[in-house]
Amino acid sequence: MNPSEHPLPHASSPLGRFHFYFPWVIAILIFLGIGMSGSVNHMESSAWWGLAFLGLWFGWPAWHQLRTLEKVLILGWIGILTGACISFINTDHVRSGHHDLEKFLRFAVAGPLYLTLRRYGWLMTRAVLAGSLMGVSLLLIFGVVQVFFQGVDRAHGIVYPITYGDITILFAMIIFVSGGCLYRKKKDLFWIALGIGGVIASILSKTRNSLLVLPALILVLPFALGRRVSGRIHLVIYGGGLLLLLGAWLTVPTIRERMKGGVHNIKAWYQDKEGAIETSMGSRLTMWQRSIQLWKRHPVVGIGIGDYSLEMNTLLEKYPKEKAIVGRYGHAHSTYVHILATQGIIGFVLHVLILIGIPFLIGWKAIRVGKERSDLWPGVGTCTIVICWAVFGMGETWTAKNGLISLYLMTLVPFLAASGQMVENSPPRAKEAPVHA
């Protein structure tokens, strides 16, 4: 699909001139929203709503050209908002529930933007890459200054350390997979090397959650690539990835300390040792344990969005030692546990399917139709971004934070749209063969 398939006003008219610059307006918003994430307050949300407005204005003509899976995804985004509205009916804390509804509205307006971006293909994925390069650079500067000059224990930018760590590792992985697909000349190594800066920044945040991304990618990406790449490439992914993990484990004490500390805290919590609940892992395990108790009260539809803090603190009246520690949090510190508690098994399945399952499947299909190494970029990028956010959801409720929802959509939707375009333009039932390097 290309823009010429949709007649636009004549370029000499004001509206026509706007249409001419329209894709660059979108690309700039994506670039700024991603590039200033974690370093400028509310930048992700501001950029996202600008993109959503443009999508609502221009996106709809492309609907009839979508494949069934893409239509299911867009309807699923709307379904997430619908499910939240139904859950809101079961909410006792109306003000908090109303505030949460605005978060889910972001998913509902992603569909028109997807339709819009599908017209411009790789231009928007390049904007994501450019934004990631800028974001890594800014956040690395923040982290170095905070840790080495200000004496802060954990780098955090202008957000929480765990959010900072997740964002920086996300940008690093986008840069690395983009480099793997697009590398042509030695000068490309300069911008690819910036991905290392993202890994360093993430390490400075001491975020365990982000350290799990690389092992997850090493395990899952080769399955997504399948026979589309040679055995040598698989060896590079597995061997190179394992060497990188081993090198990081042996040479970076922070990683060993954080991972060993986490394992120790988990064991202490299970053994019910004194003070175990006060640790990062202990408090999370306690929150998850009590959240599951809340879910069991209403297993199908959950306790209702907006009611988590109210219901949790009521439950914790039975556990006074826990209330002072975990009662102050407004979410379960896990996307999966929080959605299960507030929206039940129906909301849980819907979120996993729409936010992780179908996007990964679209990326996987795009990988299957590529002929050159560069053709793999949209599909591999989609799968990588999905894996990152799936891992982040284990230890962070990113669906409860406006900025992270916006960043999820701004990084994923452009790659999804390019993947959908590749699948649409591919010959039907093309025989799978290794891509050319």
Query: Scanning the structure block, which residue is given the tokens 């375009």?
Result: 421
Exposed / middle / buried, residue 203 (Cβ in 10 Å: 0-12, 13-18, 19+):
buried
Which phi and psi angles does 436 have, rounded to 5°? -85, 135
252: DSSP letter: -
Q: What whole-number distance in Å separates Cα of residue 12 and Cα of residue 308?
A: 55
Per-residue pLDDT of the chain in tens (437 residues, 90 and over written 9): 444 444 444 445 554 555 667 888 899 999 999 999 999 998 999 999 999 888 887 766 677 778 889 999 999 999 999 988 888 877 776 676 777 888 899 998 899 899 889 888 778 999 999 999 999 999 999 999 999 999 999 999 999 999 999 999 999 999 999 998 888 888 888 898 899 899 999 999 988 888 889 888 888 888 777 777 677 777 777 777 788 778 778 877 888 888 888 899 999 999 988 888 888 899 999 999 999 999 999 999 899 888 888 899 899 999 888 888 888 888 899 999 999 999 999 999 999 999 999 999 999 999 988 878 889 999 999 999 999 999 999 989 998 899 999 999 999 999 999 999 888 887 665 455 566 55
Listing DSSP states for 15-54 in one string gives HHHHHHHHHHHHHHHHHHHHHTTTTSTTHHHHHHHHHHHH
Q: At 434, list the tokens.
A: 């290794």
Domain ranges of the chain: 22-257+333-425
Q: What whole-number distance in Å separates Cα of residue 135 and Cα of residue 340?
A: 32
What pLDDT is attached to residue 60?
Answer: 67
Q: What whole-number distance in Å separates Cα of residue 407 and Cα of residue 128?
A: 10
- The model carries a pTM of 0.91
Region label for 275, one of left (φ > 0), alpha (ψ between -120 and 50) or beta (otherwise): left
Exposed / middle / buried, residue 85 (Cβ in 10 Å: 0-12, 13-18, 19+):
middle
What pLDDT is attached to residue 46?
Answer: 93
